[in-house]
Amino acid sequence: MPLTLLLDLDDTLLNTNLQAFIPAYFQALSKELTPHIAPEQMLRALISGMNLMNQSEDFTRTLRQVFDAEFYPQLNISRDELDAAIENFYDNIFPTLQGLTTQKDDAKPFVEWALSQGYRVAIATDPLLPRKATYHRLRWAGFEPDQFMLVSSYEDFHFSKTHSAYYAEALGLMGWHEGPILMVGNDMERDIIPAKKLGLATYLVDSEPASPSGPEADVRGTLHDLRLWLESTNFNSLSPSFKSAQAALGTMFATPAVLNGLTNDLHESIWKRKLSATEWTLTELICHLRDTEREIHHMQIRLFEEKVEPFIPRPDTGVWASQRDYLHEDGASALAEFNQARCETVSMLKNMDSGGWQRKARHAIFGPTTFLEVVGFMAEHDRMHIHQAWSLLGKLQK
State the average pLDDT over residues 272-294. 93
End-to-end Cα spacing for the chain: 23
User: Residue 134 and residue 149: Cα distance in Å, rounded?
Assistant: 15
The pLDDT score that the predictor gives to residue 277 is 82
State the average pLDDT over residues 192-210. 87
Tens digit of each residue's pLDDT (9 = 90 or more) over 304-349 = 989 999 999 888 888 898 899 999 999 999 999 999 999 999 999 9
Architecture of domain 4-14+101-238: 3-Layer(aba) Sandwich (3.40)
Which has the higher per-residue pLDDT, 208 or 398? 398
- Per domain, the residue ranges of the chain are 4-14+101-238, 17-99, 245-396
Instruction: For residue 350, name the pLDDT band (cuts at 50, 70, 90).
Output: confident
Which has the higher per-residue pLDDT, 217 or 47? 47
Tens digit of each residue's pLDDT (9 = 90 or more) over 22-47 = 999 999 999 999 999 999 999 999 99
User: Residue 112 and residue 130: Cα distance in Å, rounded?
Assistant: 25
Fold that domain 245-396 belongs to in CATH? Four Helix Bundle (Hemerythrin (Met), subunit A) (1.20.120)
The pLDDT score that the predictor gives to residue 213 is 54
pTM: 0.95
Residue 19: exposure state from Cβ atoms within 10 A (0-12, 13-18, ≥19): exposed
- Cα 398 to Cα 121, 291, 391, distances in angstroms: 22, 29, 11
Q: Does 358 score more than 70 pLDDT?
A: yes
Tens digit of each residue's pLDDT (9 = 90 or more) over 111-128 = 999 999 999 999 999 999
User: Residue 15 and residue 202: Cα distance in Å, rounded?
Assistant: 20
The pLDDT score that the predictor gives to residue 214 is 55
Q: Does 207 score more than 70 pLDDT?
A: no
User: Residue 209 and residue 189: Cα distance in Å, rounded?
Assistant: 21
Type of residue numbered 141: A
Q: Does 211 score more than 90 pLDDT?
A: no
The pLDDT score that the predictor gives to residue 314 is 83
The pLDDT score that the predictor gives to residue 251 is 98
CA 346 distance to own-chain centroid? 17
Share of the chain above pLDDT 90, in %: 85
Instruction: For residue 265, name the pLDDT band (cuts at 50, 70, 90).
Output: confident
Tens digit of each residue's pLDDT (9 = 90 or more) over 57-107 = 999 999 999 999 999 999 999 999 999 999 999 999 999 999 999 999 999
Instruction: For residue 353, name the pLDDT band (cuts at 50, 70, 90).
Output: confident
Q: Does 186 score more than 90 pLDDT?
A: yes
The pLDDT score that the predictor gives to residue 209 is 57
